[in-house]
Structure 1
Amino acid sequence: MDFVFLYETFITLISAIPMTLQLAATSVALGTVLALGLALCRVSGIAPLNWLARAYIFIFRGTPLLVQIFLIYYGLSQFRGVRRSMFWFILRDPYWCAIIALMLCTAAYSAEIIRGGLLSVPHGQVEAGRACGMSRFLVFRRIVIPLAIRQSLPAYSNEIISMVKATSLASIITIMEITGVAAKLISETYRAIEVFIVAGAIYLAINFLLTRIVVLIEYRLSPHLRQAPALQPVAAGEMR
């Protein structure tokens, strides 16, 4: 194996890491906001909102992300009304089409994760907050949301990792993230194995760091994991 070529490939691919992280971070951030709204619709008890959220989740979880990217990037441009609309400056840009597709997809999965976290909050803690005179909004902000985040974090970390890997599909619409740059290198060198080994190692390193960050956040949000050290027994002769 040519280690010099591997090193040169690594240097070339790390230049695409910012684009990969930018795609993942932006889509996850926007998707989280949309997912929270969908989750609230699911637990609201209002039938139209519940069914609307169900339909959205069913569509975007039931269709491949690659198809969604193609429909947004290639499909919407087929409509003259879209090309003449005020949103055309966004929809003609492959970067924003990739962001929109990733955001809509992750929102569907994240909504169910958040909904599970909301439903896992013990009802007794909510009643205790109301008994202390808290308003519904204050109970939601001070009790429900923190507990739901802690319960949802392990599953949500998997979704974040999935979105980092899903950014590789953006290369299909000319986005030069890690996979896009790797494909360009392969077309120039015809050395697919070495290039993909380096690309896979970079994705592995990114996701390893993400898992460590999530573990740290989970540790900070879980006081029961931070137990105080046991007191050392004091010898009888040391007592004053």
Structure 2
Amino acid sequence: MNWSLMLESIPALLYGALATVQLLLMTLVCGGLLALPLGIVAANGRPMFRLPVMGYITFFRGTPLLVQVFLVYYGFSQFQIIRSSIFWPVLREAWFCALLTLAFHTAAYTANILRGAILAIPAGQKEAAVALGMRPLLIYRLVILPQAFRIGMPAYGNEMISMMKATSLASTITIMELTGTANTIVARTYAPYEVFISAALIYLCVAWMLSRLVRAIEARLSRHMRSAVEARNTLRRVPAHA
């Protein structure tokens, strides 16, 4: 194994990893903003709205992400109405096409996670909130969504790591993120073993940081439950008076 080549390739791979992280963060933000209303509609929306949302979720969860990337990157240019629109200067850029596809893809998975988390909340809590005179938006903001986020966070953590690995598909449309940079170095050095091991270790580090972030968020969302358990254990240790 050529250790010197691995060390020499690290700076370029880290620069590619920066592009990967940027693409991942923008994907999670855009996908999360889209998934929030989709998940609510998929869980409790009227059939006329819920059915199209479920169709969207089914399509993006049931087709390969690589096919979706190609459909967006190569497909938009096939329509004259898109090429003539004011959006074409943006839609013809590979970076935006990758971001758009990844955001739509993760939005489908995240919406399905949120849907399951909302449906897991006992219906009695919503009924109690309605009995107190709370409006639907207030019920979601104070009662349903905080619990849904806590319930769905472990699954969403897996989705974040999956999307981090999925960003490697952006290299197929000329984006020089981590995998694209590794391919470029391999084409120049003919040393795939050393370069891709280095890239894999960087991916592993990013995945580890994401898992730690998810654990911290889970702990933050569940702090009230830990406080209740600690208080109950404290009361059990207090000796009863005769």
The reply to whether residue 66 of structure 1 matches residue 66 of structure 2 is yes
The reply to whether residue 95 of structure 1 matches residue 95 of structure 2 is yes
Report percent identity of matched pairs: 45
Q: 1:224 is aligned with what amino acid?
A: M
Distance across 2 between alignment mates of 1:121 and 1:101: 31
Q: Deviations over 1:118-142 (max 9, x none)?
A: 1111222223333433222211101
Equivalent residue number for residue 172 of structure 1: 172
Q: Larger deviation: 28-37 or 180-189?
A: 28-37
Q: Larger deviation: 18-27 or 191-200?
A: 18-27
Equivalent residue number for residue 30 of structure 1: 30
Following superposition of structure 1 onto structure 2, how do residues 74-113 of structure 1 map, counting pairs within 5 Å? 74-113=74-113
Q: Larger deviation: 157-166 or 124-133?
A: 124-133
* Residue 45 of structure 1: how far off its partner (Å): 4.1
**Structure 1 residues 75 and 45: CA distance shift in structure 2, 3 A:** closer
Distance across 2 between alignment mates of 1:130 and 1:54: 27
* Residue 55 of structure 1: how far off its partner (Å): 1.3
For the Cα contact (< 8 Å) 2:69–2:98, is it kept in 1?
Answer: yes
2:175 counterpart SS class: coil
Q: 1:80 is aligned with what amino acid?
A: Q
Distance across 1 between alignment mates of 2:8 and 2:132: 63
Distance across 1 between alignment mates of 2:174 and 2:121: 44
Q: How many residues align?
A: 233
Equivalent residue number for residue 238 of structure 1: none
Equivalent residue number for residue 218 of structure 1: 218
Bigger relative CO (Cα 8 Å, ≥ 6 apart): 2
Q: Which runs of 5+ in 2 are unaligned?
A: none
* Residue 11 of structure 1: how far off its partner (Å): 1.9
* Residue 32 of structure 1: how far off its partner (Å): 1.3
Distance across 2 between alignment mates of 1:68 and 1:211: 27
Q: Which has the higher helix share?
A: 2
Distance across 1 between alignment mates of 2:44 and 2:124: 19
Distance across 2 between alignment mates of 1:207 and 1:184: 23
TM-score of the superposed pair, with normalisation by structure 2: 0.91
1:16 counterpart SS class: helix
Q: Which runs of 5+ in 1 are unaligned?
A: 235-240
Distance across 1 between alignment mates of 2:132 and 2:59: 42
